[in-house]
Structure 1
């Protein structure tokens, strides 16, 4: 078995492959690591055949749907997953084949109702059911401490003590453990009485993941995160640096239209000299009136550089081929002490 472990902060993804057939599965991939996964697969001579999420993630953005479109391979999740883009729904005790490898599913609800673990030879990929020195939380949508107790003590912990444990998260730089080590030393597993375990899980009082609402929305629907939209826009748009724009402003470059896409109050408090105001929320409705010549060179700017990137991408899609975005934003412009005008448009 070929095994690559990829960490993204505390999130852990796994590329698992058969050395004989060169076929592989990618488990719990994270959206920012797509190029890394593909590079590892190419280096190891592997072809990804399955994209697997062990559960509906609430703390990171899954890459399964984007990779499925890119590679034309199926997304695999437990059969009760709500995600509409899942191609292969698999049940408890069922397997998928990777050459000589067998990936067997163990349904382990508790962290989420669709949580599953994957046993491959002497290893088990536990998602968020069992962590190194911990367990998955049960206070997120579809979490259930009673179900987690059963999944752990009646199923997962009955595997051979030597079976290696590879979780979907670890925040201390640890790569793996074993079932035996977790039984012996995992603090949460010392609560072996059902009522004591359930009470402990209900009293953890953990803070919510940073992007929980957005992550659940995108992972359950297959929609795009804000970061993904920004990354896609940035890949389609060229940029201009702050010093370059300053030089063009000072040279009174009449070939460049500076388009400030902030709201009026922000614009009037301070803008690039000569900049026009066209708020992003009105862009599509006013573009024909404000920008009648699609051949003009246009630079978009905003407060932090994100909204202007989206605006530039939109304008390019609408037929303005010479649009660029400012690399940075008005906040950086002010920090650099570059010239500012205030008030309404002249």
Structure 2
């Protein structure tokens, strides 16, 4: 069996490959690693048969939908998952088979109601149910400490002690553990009384994940992240460097319109010479009156160079095919020593 672990911060995902059939399974893929997964699959000549999310993630962005579109492989989740794009909905004890790979779903609610572990031969992929030296939290949507207690002590920890544990997060830099090691050393598993365990989980008082709302929104619905919107827009928009724009201002600017998308107060404090003030929120409503010539060359700019990319993409969609975005924003322009002029 081919086996590889991928890391993105504290997140862990796993690629399993059957050497006989070249079938592969990818567990808990992270969106920022999409190209790395693609590269490994191609490198090893593997065909992706299943993409599995062990639960609805609230702390990172799943790559499942993007990989499904790229490879045509079905997404497998527990049957209680809210994700509309899940093709295979697993119940407790059901199995995925890809060549010689056989993974059995073990429903382990607690961290989320759709949490499951995947048991395969000598190992178990525990998602966020059991971590190395910890467990998944239970204070996020659909979490329940009582269910987690039952999932751990009633199911997962009854696996053979030598079973290797591969979680969806690793904050100990250990890569993997075993069921026996966790029973012996994991502080949270020392609370074997239900009431004591539940009290401990309620008292954790953990900070909310950085991307909680966006992660839940995208992972539950299949919607796009802000990063995906920016990336997709950037693929269809050319950029103009600050030095190139600087050289074209003044006497050479007749064939060029600079659009400043910021709000009025920011624009008035200082803007690029001759820039037209057109706030992003008014762009579509005023574009016909402010930009009567669709053949003009346009450069969009904003404070940090992100809204300008979306605006340039919108202008191109509207037929302004020479719309470009400034590489960097007004903040970078200012830091580079290029001049800004205040409104009079």
Q: TM-score range by the shorter chain?
A: over 0.9
- Cα separation, 2, equivalents of 1:39 and 1:192: 44
Q: Secondary structure at the match of 1:55?
A: coil
TM-score when normalising by structure 2: 0.98
Structure 1 segments, 4+ long, off by >4 Å, are none
8 Å contact from structure 2 (residues 132, 171) kept in 1: no
Match of 1:110 in 2: 110
8 Å contact from structure 1 (residues 6, 13) kept in 2: yes
| Farther-moved stretch of structure 1 (240-249 vs 37-46) | 240-249
Map of 1:188-203 to 2, 5 A cutoff? 188-203=188-203
Match of 1:334 in 2: 334
Match of 1:311 in 2: 311
- 1:97 equivalent in alignment to 2:97: yes
- Cα separation, 1, equivalents of 2:180 and 2:341: 68
Residue 312 (structure 1) shift: 0.7
- Cα separation, 1, equivalents of 2:323 and 2:49: 40
Map of 1:17-96 to 2, 5 A cutoff? 17-96=17-96
Match of 1:120 in 2: 120
8 Å contact from structure 1 (residues 259, 277) kept in 2: yes
TM-score when normalising by structure 1: 0.97
Q: Secondary structure at the match of 2:155?
A: helix
- Cα separation, 1, equivalents of 2:174 and 2:55: 21
Residue 250 (structure 1) shift: 4.8
| Farther-moved stretch of structure 1 (54-63 vs 41-50) | 41-50
- Cα separation, 2, equivalents of 1:172 and 1:250: 57
Match of 2:239 in 1: 239
- The number of residues matched between the two structures is 344
Q: Deviations over 1:128-185 (max 9, x none)?
A: 0000110000000000001001111111111111111110011232211111111111
- 1:262 equivalent in alignment to 2:251: no
8 Å contact from structure 2 (residues 128, 136) kept in 1: yes
Q: Deviations over 1:240-286 (max 9, x none)?
A: 11122112125533211111111122111110001111111111111
RMSD: 1.1
Q: Secondary structure at the match of 1:173?
A: coil
- Cα separation, 2, equivalents of 1:283 and 1:260: 11
Structure 2: unaligned runs, 5 residues or longer:
none
- Cα separation, 1, equivalents of 2:318 and 2:284: 9
8 Å contact from structure 1 (residues 163, 178) kept in 2: yes
- Cα separation, 2, equivalents of 1:315 and 1:4: 43
Q: Give the 3 Å change call, closer, same or farther, for CA 195–341 of structure 1 in structure 2.
A: same
| Farther-moved stretch of structure 1 (280-289 vs 89-98) | 280-289
Residue 204 (structure 1) shift: 0.3
8 Å contact from structure 1 (residues 101, 121) kept in 2: no
- Cα separation, 1, equivalents of 2:6 and 2:29: 9
Q: Secondary structure at the match of 1:284?
A: helix
- 1:322 equivalent in alignment to 2:322: yes
Structure 1: unaligned runs, 5 residues or longer:
none
- Cα separation, 1, equivalents of 2:42 and 2:292: 48
- Cα separation, 2, equivalents of 1:172 and 1:259: 49
Q: Secondary structure at the match of 1:48?
A: strand
Residue 231 (structure 1) shift: 1.2
- Cα separation, 2, equivalents of 1:72 and 1:60: 22
8 Å contact from structure 2 (residues 7, 13) kept in 1: yes
- Cα separation, 1, equivalents of 2:29 and 2:291: 42
- Cα separation, 2, equivalents of 1:109 and 1:160: 20
